Amino acid sequence: DAGVTQSPTHLIKTRGQQVTLRCSPKSGHDTVSWYQQALGQGPQFIFQYYEEEERQRGNFPDRFSGHQFPNYSSELNVNALLLGDSALYLCASSLAQGVISVTQYFGPGTRLTVL
Amino acid sequence: DAKTTQPTSMDCAEGRAANLPCNHSTISGNEYVYWYRQIHSQGPQYIIHGLKNNETNEMASLIITEDRKSSTLILPHATLRDTAVYYCIVRVALGSSNTGKLIFGQGTTLQVKP
């Protein structure tokens, strides 16, 4: 049973650039959530996608956007990168039951460094 | 979602039980208690969750007080591989529109020592 996978593992970008991170959910899951984890902090919720739509969003600017594909995989896009965007980006998948989303399972993360 | 309070750090001897406390005094009746752990630079790993009854699985046991204002995660026989940051999270349960996000605090850093 495949778990949550993310790519790439590591990424280095410069300020002002754009980045796309990818996530494949656990087999059988249809909901994807994205989190940002700065060094020494707990993960912070960015947004959640279900049925190819953003269902809930945390306190992140519009530079952060996402997409979910028909196969339930998801992308996180960050535009106009800032130094402060350097973090571990985590994807979590879950199975929605109607409008209900239960236990989230996390991928290994993508380490983004902005220089 | 209700907030949680956890000790910043704890030590445990290898082979002994590790008891990690969590305070969630403002928990609502429809909120579950979830526990995750995160080993350095890896994604958080789901451990266990519960509503009001005590729960046990292959990883741990979760003891929730009768008033639900606090809980304890128990690792029965801690090993060096259990060294991690443990997060206690209170999360709205089924039927609510606010069902997406997990709110992580600072967690408890558990150091298992030989």
Q: Which two tokens stand for residue B47?
A: 């451990």
Please state the φ and ψ torsions of residue A83, each to the nearest 5 degrees: -55, -35
How many angstroms separate the CA atoms of B114 and B109, rounded? Answer: 16
The answer to whether the CB atoms of B105 and A104 lie below 8 A apart is no
Per-residue pLDDT reduced to its tens digit, A44-88? 999 999 889 998 899 999 999 999 999 999 999 999 999 999 999
**A-side interface with B, Cβ within 8 Å?**
4, 33, 35, 41-45, 48, 55-56, 58, 88, 90, 92, 97, 99-109, 111
User: Residue B11 belongs to what H/E stretch?
Assistant: strand B9-13
Residue B71: its pLDDT value, please?
97
Report the amino acid identity of residue B85. Answer: V
Q: Which two tokens stand for residue A104?
A: 């989230």
Taking residues B33-55, report their average pLDDT.
Answer: 93
What is the 3 state secondary structure string of A18-44? CEEEEEECCCCCCEEEEEEECCCCCCE
Rounded to the nearest integer, the mean pLDDT of chain B is 90
Q: Does residue B82 carry a pLDDT above 70?
A: yes
Judge whether B6 and B22 are in contact, CB under 8 Å. Answer: yes
Report the amino acid identity of residue A38. Answer: A
Report the amino acid identity of residue A26. Answer: K
The answer to whether the CB atoms of A108 and B97 lie below 8 A apart is no
The pLDDT > 90 percentage for chain A reads 83
The answer to whether the CB atoms of A108 and B43 lie below 8 A apart is yes
Residue B93: its pLDDT value, please?
60
Pick among A24, A53, A106 to test the B interface (most B CBs inside 10 A): A106
Least confident interval from A72-81, B23-32, B43-52: B23-32
Residue A39: its pLDDT value, please?
92
- Shortest alpha-carbon distance between residue A80 and chain B (Å): 25
Residue B72: its pLDDT value, please?
98
Pick among A9, A37, A94 to test the B interface (most B CBs inside 10 A): A37
The answer to whether the CB atoms of A44 and B104 lie below 8 A apart is yes
Contacts of A98 (CB under 8 A, 6+ apart): none
How many angstroms separate the CA atoms of B107 and B22, rounded? Answer: 9
Tell me, yes or no, if B99 comes closer than 8 A to chain A by beta carbon: yes
